[in-house]
Structure 1
Amino acid sequence: MNDISNINKDGLPSTKSLIKATVAAMAASAVILVSAILPAEYGIDPTGMGKALGLNVLNQANASEAETTPVISQPVNLLGGADSPVWKGAAAPRTNTMTLTLLPRQGAEIKSPMDAGDNFVFNWKTDGGLVYFDMHGEPPNPAKDEFTSYWIGKDQQQASGHFTAPFEGTHGWYWQNTGATPVTITLTTNGFYGDLYMP
């Protein structure tokens, strides 16, 4: 015959049995805390069980890892210095749109004089034809063939992006029509830069 003294009339455990189960769970939790968690996490071993079970090694490994791992902090620059997310321009931003038409196999450039740090957002697109392009820059008074290419593409119809001049000089694009029919390119720029021109 089953013992039903711990079950009430609704078929649920009695208050007395719930209290006993709660006390037992708390006692088991306290034993686990003292014998396993404190030695492994904090190196505190009042019962000696952590050492006997080899749990103290875990705390020593965590401590040595913390000593050898450098703490890297990123200072917040509130004064607008070189690392500031705010770039301050001396002049108002400008917007330009230029078009050029290239005959088959013809190439041409559009450039702008820029100081280091000047920047713009750009978009160029063709009227459907494909072009080769080289976005590049050169310092003032460059030697022959002295330039830096930033982005080169073949058989393209458009490109968009944001550009920041890495050095003082002229920066822009060279396009070449790779097709058999004329291609018109429309360039739109917005930002801080000098006058756009075709050399």
Structure 2
Amino acid sequence: MYNSEVPPMSELPSASRLLRSTVIALLVAVALLVTVVMPAEYGIDPTGIGRVLGLKSMGEIKMAAQASASTVPPTSPAGASAAPASSVAAATQDRRTDQTSVKLMPGEGVEVKMQMEKGATVKYRWVASGGAVTFDAHGEGSEVKFSVSYKKGQEALKDEGILEAAFKGQHGWYWKNRGKEPVTVGLTTVGQYTSIRRVE
């Protein structure tokens, strides 16, 4: 037999206090759903706060990646080798997604290139952590004598958009750290390319 005492009624919360707490918790949950979860997970931003916080573009990239991944067959043919578990790329017939990270020491420049066909498009977003960078989005191929620049910038912390290959070849970004501290650039790409690599 237990001798626990039942608390007096005066110490128990009233029905109105319980109702008020429940309503507040519900309102907070709805606010988080609309301002954080929907933009970050589904790219839906009814309030505009997700775009300001950079969450909407994350959701759009995630939804594009899920759409492309949904076309991958659920099983591999007999005898086919499975992709390595450490791979961060999810490739389909003509679309894939990658997460690429490069570290730039002070004064260092780094290039990341994708192999693309003429007219192929890639949706991208990159963010520099630790400082700003100078960048040049450009392409190189056998059809042109010199590299063709798509977009340039200085003292940039991030950039996003759609890169369309003007010709068959390697297309991507060059970043340079002109600061005094190391900078890490995180790049997300979703689209039509067969490979992506750091160019030494």
What TM-score comes out, normalization by structure 1 length?
0.52
Amino acid at match of 1:164: E
| Partner in structure 1 of residue 128 of structure 2 | 126
In 1, Cα distance between equivalents of 2:190 and 2:181:
30
Q: Could you list the per-position Cα deviations for residues 45-70 of structure 1 after superposition, in whole angstroms to 9, with x for gaps in the alignment?
A: xxxxxxxxxxxxxxxxxxxxxxxxxx
Q: Which residue of 95, 98, 103 corresponds with 1:96?
A: 98
Cα RMSD, aligned residues only: 1.6
In 2, Cα distance between equivalents of 1:165 and 1:95:
17
Q: CA deviation at 1:139?
A: 1.0
| Partner in structure 1 of residue 68 of structure 2 | none
Contact 2:109 2:175 in 1 (8 A): yes
Which runs of structure 2 are paired with 1:1-199 in the superposition (5 Å)? 91-140=93-142, 143=145, 146-199=146-199
Amino acid at match of 1:147: S
Amino acid at match of 2:172: G
Gaps of 5+ in 2: 1-91
Amino acid at match of 1:171: H
| Partner in structure 2 of residue 32 of structure 1 | none
Identity %: 37
Q: CA deviation at 1:92?
A: 3.9
Amino acid at match of 1:99: S
Amino acid at match of 1:98: T
What TM-score comes out, normalization by structure 2 length?
0.52
Q: CA deviation at 1:117?
A: 1.1
Gaps of 5+ in 1: 1-89
Contact 1:92 1:192 in 2 (8 A): yes
In 2, Cα distance between equivalents of 1:149 and 1:174:
10
| Partner in structure 1 of residue 41 of structure 2 | none
Contact 1:95 1:190 in 2 (8 A): yes
Greater Rg by CA: 1
Q: Stretches of 4+ moved more than 4 A in 1? A: none
Q: Could you list the per-position Cα deviations for residues 126-180 of structure 1 after superposition, in whole angstroms to 9, with x for gaps in the alignment?
A: 114110000000113865xx10111000000000001111111110000000110
SS of 1:197's equivalent in the other structure is: strand
In 2, Cα distance between equivalents of 1:174 and 1:111:
9
In 1, Cα distance between equivalents of 2:135 and 2:109:
9
